[in-house]
Amino acid sequence: MTTALHIYHSITRQKELFIPETPGFIGMYVCGPTVYNDVHLGNCRTFVSFDIIYRYLQTIGYQVRYVRNITDVGHLLDDGEDRMSKGARLEKKEPMEVAQKYTVGFHNMMRIFQTLPPSIEPRATGHIPEQIEMVETILKNGLAYIKNGSVYFDTQKYIDNKGDYGVLSGRKIDELLSETRDNLKNQSEKNHPADFAIWMKASDEHIMRWNSPWGIGFPGWHLECSAMSLKYLGEVFDIHGGGNDLKFPHHENEIAQNMGSCQCKGAKYWLHTNMLLLNGKKMSKSDGNTISPEQLFIGNSEHISKSYSPMVVKFFMLQCHYRSTLDLTDAALLAAEKGYKRLMEAYKWIQSVNHPGTKGDAGQDADIEALIEAAHLDMADDFNTPKALSRLFELVNKLNSLKDKHIGWDQISPATFENIKQVFSLFINDIFAVDSDVEGDLSGNQDKSLLDGLMNLIIQMRNDARLRKDWATADLIRDALKENKVELKDGKDGSSWQVTES
Ligand code: AMP
Ligand code: ZN
């Protein structure tokens, strides 16, 4: 921990010197996914960004407790329906079945992107008593009120008691009003439109329900993160993260709940990642401007000309700072693929050669050492991955000159050569973790041809069944594929397949 770490704090809106609450230790909480459908690429960008931060903090010597929750109750849609219940209704499943299915899918995707599991991954439904207790404390502190079996946080009382509502989103309460999405149906129950539900009465048809001192209901979405961060990280912890779409109302309300219950501010530093765009526009399923990670990996989308391997996609994410919007285009992915290949080829080469032992050139050595130092400083400067990558590419240029004999071994000392090896290994394996495609086909075409082969086999089996007039088997195959989001189209030239979005 020799370098001072600076991180951009969303509340002060500037880079701050990072001072952990307990020297040597870091508590970090990141809002995890709402597991009611497949994880999308935007989610992946946010979780990859925090994985890099988690990894980096460990490489500079911190012991990090990284808590990332699973939201499996309470996150409502604009019409007031619980996202999990909606998922369950659409799929004719128990909400817990839906949660399980998409949690497994999420973990799988996180593995594909080579991210580490968090230290603790608490589920909202596993922490109902903690959430009820927090509601009771807020009520006891006079900062909430009960209406018809629901409990609302009293933002006006909070403000009267010098609570800084709007501290994170930096907006006036009136501007925030129209955006509250916790339960539009119940707006009339609130004393003030800015108040938000911390416990909601469950209607008869609501599937997710628990007993509480206020009747049968379920917790408000914002409450889980306050309750679980308090339980696992304490009243004050170091870092809280999420995508910047969560600043309001989710994180603003989390702060109010923390202050309203234990009079503690929770996180010392708030970090927010920026959004992933597709061809310059917000990703949106409704207007077709969307692409799933799977579609990217197998090259099955109108938005791309070919498949891209997971590590190329991850490298593409790293080329952009986490606080900037990232625009996914085919051209940018093609460029990222070239860059990734170049980096990995240099990495492979340096691992395979040994320095002959000749003395180096002091000027050249100093240049290289300065680049290595700069890459470390870039990461300490609010986790600037694109800048650190650019230093690695300057080192790649040096290595290629050496490899192509434009400069001789006498230009770089053995110690400096060893330092290049180490810095490559540190970034590529430990911090960025983009090493896994090295052995395979870097373009991901190997996976695609395997998939094509398997799909041809399945289509052949179905055709055989149809020829035998075994309609049950033919339908079973089509339906099973559909379950896995693969749609078969039967035409006069045979059957073709495509991956669907939902
Ligand atoms: P959700 O499952 O919707 O609660 O989102 C999980 C995480 O992904 C949150 O931190 C969101 O802020 C983040 N997120 C959602 N959409 C995007 C996007 N397009 N780009 C980056 N992060 C996103
Ligand atoms: Zn949260």
- Give residue-wise pLDDT tens across range 361-419: 999 999 999 999 999 999 999 999 999 999 999 999 999 999 999 999 999 999 999 99
CA nearest 315: which of 431, 151, 176?
Answer: 431
Q: How far apart are CA 472 and CA 183, in angstroms?
A: 45
* CB 74, CB 218: distance < 8 Å: yes
pLDDT exceeds cutoff 90 at 494: no
Ligand 1 test: best mutation among 36, 37, 46, most atoms within 8 Å of CB?
46
The residue written with tokens 């968090």 in the block is 118
Residue 280, sorted as left (phi over 0), alpha (psi -120 to 50) or beta, turns out to be left
CA of 135 to the centre of ligand 1 (A): 26
Which ligand is closest in space to the CA of residue 68?
Answer: 2
Nearest protein Cα to ligand 1, atom 15? 43
Ligand 1 atom having least distance to the Cα of 39: 2
Tokens of 467: 């020829």
Q: What per-residue confidence (pLDDT) applies to 443?
A: 41
Residue 442: pLDDT over 90 = no
Look at 112-121, 268-277, 278-287, 394-403 and tell me which has the smallest mean pLDDT: 278-287
Probe residue for ligand 1, chosen from 43, 283, 325 as the CB with the greatest number of ligand atoms within 8 Å: 43
DSSP state of 384: -
pTM of the entire predicted model: 0.86
Q: How far apart are CA 87 and CA 70, in angstroms?
A: 15
Q: Are 309 and 113 in contact (CB under 8 A)?
A: no
User: What average pLDDT does the segment 352-360 reach?
Assistant: 93
Query: Cα(278) to centroid of ligand 1, in Å?
Result: 14
Residues with CB under 6 A from ligand 1: 31, 33-34, 42-43, 45-46, 71, 242-243, 245-246, 273, 275-276, 283
The answer for 73, left when phi > 0, alpha when psi is -120 to 50, beta otherwise, is beta
- State the average pLDDT over residues 12-35: 97
Q: What is the DSSP string of 289-322?
A: B---HHHHHHT-STT-SS---HHHHHHHHHTS-T
Range scoring the smallest mean pLDDT among 83-92, 93-102, 234-243, 422-431: 83-92
Which residues make Cβ contacts (< 8 Å) with residue 169, sequence separation at least 6?
Answer: 176, 247, 248, 251, 252
Task: Locate the ligand 1 atom nearest the alpha carbon of residue 326 and give its number.
Answer: 20
CA distances for 250 relative to 176, 177, 211, angstroms: 12, 13, 24
pLDDT of residue 286: 67
Per-residue HEC secondary structure of 193-243 comes to CCCEEEEEECCCCCCCCECCCCCCEEECHHHHHHHHHHHHHCCEEEEEEEE
φ and ψ at residue 305, rounded to 5 degrees? -90, -15
